[in-house]
Amino acid sequence: MQYINGLWIASGSHRFTSINPATGVAVWEGHAAGEKEVAEAVSAAKAAFPAWAAKSYAERYTLVDKFKSLIEGRKDELAVLIAQETGKTLWDSKSEVAAVIAKLTYASEAHEERTGVKAKQAQVGRAVVRHRPHGVMAVYGPYNFPAHLPNGHIQPALLAGNTIVYKPSELTPMVAEWCVKRWEEAGLPKGVLNLVQGEKDTGVALAKQNINGLLFTGSSATGKKLHEQFAGKPEVVVALEMGGNNPLLIHEVSNLKAAVHETLLSAYTGTGQRCTCARRLILSDWKQSAEFLELLVKSAQQLKIGAYTDTPEPFMGPLISMREVDRLIAAQETLEKSGAKVLLRMKKLHETLPFISPGIIDVSSVKNRSDEEYFGPLLQVIRVKDLDSAINEANNTQYGLSASIFSDDMSIFERYAPLIRAGLVNFNRQTTGASGAGPFGGIGMSGNHRPAGYYSADYCAYPVASVELDKLALPNTLPPGMTLS
């Protein structure tokens, strides 16, 4: 169903379904929004904008805080829905819900710090900076974090005074509908938040509308197409958070089990379906590197894989679809044919359900390696002779989202972290570890220099600079050539 101007509408161009990856059973069915519904949603958001923007920040905050309270009261329910629709493990789904709840704290702090009113005395009068909302923002959500990542755009955009048309992933419409119902329950005025469900055609139709901003989280391929579509439209704010071919560098660590633990979290959390997952493990030539790699392979082999309902709870769930399974298996085969050595073969675990085992493949001898983001549990190992070579290899990518360095020597991090081209650079922590108190985004094919997270406040409002005097007053000296009679 669509949610347009405060009403739930069971209409659209055609019906589509959402499937639980762990069972193959449909969990949601509804209509895809066509051009008509999309246009109506944008029109409703435009009509609602003046009144919403005119509300005080305190009034807007109260409604967003009500949404947060509703999520807190039903957090277990939302975690189960996320697990059902994405295949995530329950512990992973619960961490996503926690991020949704925590967002308001960070968003409100960021709003005040980065877009609040600032004034100081100027040579004449006061110099004041205020911020205003842009207008109608289109929010595109991904399937891997169907609640958290769209919410990371929605909350700061609403706090700033924007109105929204939200297009979730066609793979996770159920979670999106549930979350929008909580916004409705929180008391958002009609038209402030609108939901259009659907596949690619719905997203294309929304991007063609006369909107003021587009906030996107998803693949680099789709993000690039959107960027091209809005070329020559400087009046539209476009914020892109995309994927990454993320490097994890390890050099001289003594606690091998801790390094293996953080590597497993980096490569296989969410079954490798996080944009921050480590895709490339870069090992310098140090004394225990072979021992570390052997322990990593053994530990990855023992990871429990299953549905969120399994007992004991698994570490990894299924991928989102069989299509992604086939794509990853094909990638592994291509790398092997190119000269890579399989250390742990990634295997299809079910004929019709997208369960897959983790894979580790040594690609050190592969020439002209493809700079591709394999969105799943496939970790490529690259052996290098020293740390300088490791840094060069880390930067050998068109992406620039996340990176980590593991070492016992802090000076290694201090020396090399500034050289790594990425928006997130961690030390002795997994690549998937990001704080809501910091910006979230990358460079190159990972983003367009508009990071989300704490910095999402920046693209949700624009600054207005003023010079102000309490009363009109003549200067002591008139400009040359001017006479007042």
- pLDDT category at 26 given cuts 50, 70, 90 is very high
Summarised one tens digit per residue, pLDDT across range 80-114 is: 999 999 999 999 999 999 999 999 999 999 999 99
In terms of Cβ atoms closer than 10 Å to its own Cβ (0-12, 13-18, 19+), residue 368 is: exposed
Each residue of 453-468: b (16+ CB within 10 Å) or e?
Answer: bbbbbbbbbeeeeeee
| pLDDT value of residue 124 | 86
Summarised one tens digit per residue, pLDDT across range 416-429 is: 999 999 999 999 99
pLDDT for 12 beyond 90 = no
Catalytic residues: 241, 275
pLDDT for 348 beyond 90 = yes
- pLDDT category at 11 given cuts 50, 70, 90 is confident
pTM of the model: 0.95
Residue 383 makes CB contacts below 8 A (sequence gap 6+) with: 283, 285, 289, 362, 364
Average pLDDT value over all residues in the chain: 96
The alpha carbon dihedral of 371, 223, 95, 1 has a sign of negative
Rounded percentage of the chain residues whose pLDDT exceeds 90: 96
Summarised one tens digit per residue, pLDDT across range 181-222 is: 999 999 999 999 999 999 999 999 999 999 999 999 999 999
CB 432, CB 265: distance < 8 Å:
yes
Domain architecture of the chain: domains with CATH = 2-242+447-468 (3.40.605.10), 246-427 (3.40.309.10)
Q: How many CB atoms lie within 10 A of CB 127?
A: 15
- pLDDT category at 412 given cuts 50, 70, 90 is very high
Summarised one tens digit per residue, pLDDT across range 137-153 is: 999 999 999 999 999 99
Cα separation, 430 vs 428, in Å, equals 7
Q: Dihedral (C-alpha) 432, 387, 399, 279: value to the nearest 10 degrees?
A: -50
CB 180, CB 147: distance < 8 Å:
no
